[in-house]
Structure formats: structure tokens, C-alpha cells
């Protein structure tokens, strides 16, 4: 399987990903806990059907010490007992922010209020930014049919 467009060699694509990566760096350097970032990245990628990002974020999270049990349960987080209340709030905000078109009024106030109980304003800003960035990457990779499975942890560090 080969991607429709090589985003690693195309000059315009390289510029685009450079700027998106810069936004991602600001989020990675924030005080939003790494575990929360990893879970949100994985959940949005699952929802969007992005095999490349699901592969990458599963492997990066595992390399950072995340357990296989928690990674396997991200897709069913509502029924899982292995996530903290803060992680559950972040997963819910990630889902609502990723599925905006499915909700007539956008992200419900209750979802935002729940996240705001667990994260300060800077962390909320980072979480919103993360949701935006991963959705952009998911859409890019789905559009070009970027193959999944060969990613190595830290490959783009």
C-alpha cells in the first residue's frame, strides 16, 4: 500500500506539516499531563479512522510507559474503570470536539464544565489545541491514505 501523496517529500506538504508540528510542540511543552495527551491523541485518531495516527500514538504512549490494558480500553473508556476522572473528562471533550458535526449545538456546556473541573485554563487551551491538531493530522492522513503499521516510537521526534 502506498500513500496517494508523499507528505514527506512534497515541498508544500512539508511546509504545512512544519507549521502543524510547531503547534503540536507548544501543546507537548504545556502542563497538560502526557498521559492525557496520549489518550486524547489516540481517541481522536480512532474516531477518525486514521490508521497511521492510531498506530503512532499507541506505540508512542506505550513507549512512554502507558499500559496495554489502558490503550486497549480507550475506545470503550465510558465502561472502563482504568481511567481517572480527569482522563475521562479529557476523553469526553476529545470525542465531542472531534464529532462536532454530529452535535447540533457543538460541544455541550456540561462537557466543557466537566473538563474545566479537572484542568486549569492553560491545560484547557492545550487540550483544545491538541484536539484541533490531531484532527488536522487525522484528516490529512485519511485523505492521502497514509499506510499504517510501520511507525517506530519517536520516529518524528
Helices vs strands, H then E, count in the chain: 7, 0
The H-or-E segment that residue 31 falls in is: none
Q: Which CATH code for domain 29-144?
A: 1.20.1290.10
Give me the phi and psi of 139, to 5 degrees please. -65, -40
145 exposure class (CB count in 10 Å sphere: 0-12, 13-18, 19+): middle
Task: Walk along the chain (157 residues) and give the pLDDT tens digit of each residue.
Answer: 899 999 889 999 999 999 999 999 999 999 999 999 999 999 999 999 999 999 999 999 999 999 999 999 999 999 999 999 999 999 999 999 999 988 767 899 999 999 999 999 999 999 999 999 999 999 999 999 999 999 999 888 7
Give me the phi and psi of 151, to 5 degrees please. -60, 140
Contact 93, 32 (CB under 8 A): no
Cell 466543557 belongs to residue: 112
The full set of domain ranges for the chain reads 29-144
Nearest Cα to 50, choosing from 153, 154, 129, 148? Answer: 148
Amino acid at each position: 500500500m502506498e500513500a496517494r501523496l508523499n507528505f514527506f517529500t512534497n515541498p508544500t506538504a512539508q511546509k504545512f506539516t512544519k507549521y502543524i508540528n510547531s503547534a503540536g510542540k507548544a501543546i507537548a511543552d504545556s502542563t497538560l499531563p502526557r498521559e492525557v495527551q496520549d489518550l486524547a491523541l489516540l481517541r481522536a485518531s480512532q474516531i477518525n479512522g486514521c490508521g497511521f495516527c492510531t498506530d503512532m500514538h499507541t506505540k508512542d504512549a506505550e513507549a512512554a510507559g502507558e499500559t496495554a490494558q489502558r490503550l486497549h480500553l480507550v475506545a470503550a473508556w465510558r465502561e472502563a474503570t482504568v481511567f481517572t476522572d480527569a482522563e475521562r473528562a479529557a476523553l469526553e471533550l476529545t470525542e465531542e470536539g472531534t464529532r462536532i458535526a454530529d452535535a447540533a449545538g457543538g460541544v455541550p456546556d456540561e462537557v466543557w464544565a466537566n473538563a474545566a473541573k479537572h484542568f486549569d485554563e492553560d491545560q484547557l487551551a492545550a487540550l483544545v489545541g491538541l484536539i484541533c491538531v490531531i484532527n488536522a493530522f487525522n484528516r490529512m492522513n485519511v485523505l492521502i491514505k497514509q499506510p499504517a503499521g510501520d511507525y517506530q516510537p519517536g520516529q518524528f521526534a
